[in-house]
Amino acid sequence: MFDQPDLTHWHRDVPTLGASVVTLGAFDGVHSGHQALISGTVKRARALGVPSVVCTFDPPPKVFFGRATQLCPLAAKLARISALGPDHVVVFSFDEALRALSPAAFMARLALLGPRELRVGGDFRFGAKQEGNVSLLARRFDVHVQPPVRCAAGEVVSSTRIRGLLEQGLTAAAATLLRPGLNPETSA
Ligand SMILES: Cc1cc2nc3c(=O)[nH]c(=O)nc-3n(C[C@H](O)[C@H](O)[C@H](O)COP(=O)(O)O)c2cc1C
Ligand SMILES: Nc1ncnc2c1ncn2[C@@H]1O[C@H](COP(=O)(O)OP(=O)(O)OP(=O)(O)O)[C@@H](O)[C@H]1O
């Protein structure tokens, strides 16, 4: 549906799957922290012999709320995600209807994926007014919390930090954190 010439299946809402390993987030820029999370999801799914699923939002919620400028257009984000090899990508349109959905209603939607494991960072929030967090998610699903990926200087890599580098004209530093295929343990 997105004219992507690869093996990933694209969806505008969750497909019903018997089992899966799932990660989710805005993934604006698909930086090295995101790459570690998505690659870990693909690896874990392969180990369990089930499909891997990346759920993301368009636009990124922070952009929808006017709290940030978008780093990466949807097509580029999807190309970067698909290069990491997930079986499915779900793109939720982030709009007034989705933003008002309760954490419980959103978890009911995720349950259609049959997640054997959900993989997110410790700061992941979801649901109306950002009321859902990792503890709530863990009441219903088996949750794996990805440790934060840091750059060589020790700072946690984030889309916010990359936006800041670009605003200061530090494009080379920003590009390092965005580089595809890097080893998050040793790069940047
Ligand atoms: C169903 C749903 C409703 C949301 N409603 C809000 C909201 O009311 N206010 C808000 O700031 N963010 C809202 N968000 C965005 C989340 O806080 C968060 O940005 C999103 O789940 C992506 O996670 P990430 O920012 O860690 O990538 C919502 C997300 C979901 C999935
Ligand atoms: N450096 C990182 N290491 C590991 N996981 C990360 C890292 N940065 C983000 N994540 C995780 O990736 C998912 C998507 O995060 P998100 O898209 O909000 O990234 P972000 O860099 O924190 O963005 P922003 O700075 O705009 O808030 C979340 O589960 C989040 O916890």
The pLDDT tens digits for 77-86 are 999 999 999 9
Closest protein CA for atom 11 of ligand 2: 121
Query: Cis ω on the peptide bond leading into residue 59 (within 30° of 0)?
Result: yes
The pLDDT tens digits for 72-120 are 999 999 999 999 999 999 999 999 999 999 999 999 999 999 999 999 9
State in Å: Cα 161 to ligand 2 middle. Answer: 11
26 lines ligand 2 (CB under 6 A): yes
115 lines ligand 2 (CB under 6 A): no
Query: What is the spatial distance between Cα 130 and Cα 137, in angstroms, rounded to a whole number?
Result: 13
134 lines ligand 1 (CB under 6 A): no
The pLDDT tens digits for 12-50 are 999 999 999 999 999 999 999 999 999 999 999 999 999
The secondary structure of 135-176 as a DSSP string is HHHHHHS-EEEEPPPB-TTSPBP-HHHHHHHHHTT-HHHHHH
pLDDT above 70: residue 184: no
Mutate to test the pocket of ligand 1, among 71, 99, 109, 134 (most ligand atoms within 8 A of CB): 99
29 lines ligand 2 (CB under 6 A): no
Closest protein CA for atom 2 of ligand 1: 127
Higher pLDDT, 55 or 184: 55
State in Å: Cα 13 to ligand 1 middle. Answer: 16
pLDDT for the residue 14: 94
- The domains found in the chain, sorted by start residue, are 9-147 (3.40.50.620)
The secondary structure of 76-91 as a DSSP string is HHHHHHHTT--SEEEE
pLDDT for the residue 187: 35
The pLDDT tens digits for 145-158 are 999 999 888 999 99
Query: What is the spatial distance between Cα 159 and Cα 93, in angstroms, rounded to a whole number?
Result: 20
Mutate to test the pocket of ligand 1, among 101, 125, 156, 157 (most ligand atoms within 8 A of CB): 125
Query: What is the spatial distance between Cα 31 and Cα 129, in angstroms, rounded to a whole number?
Result: 26
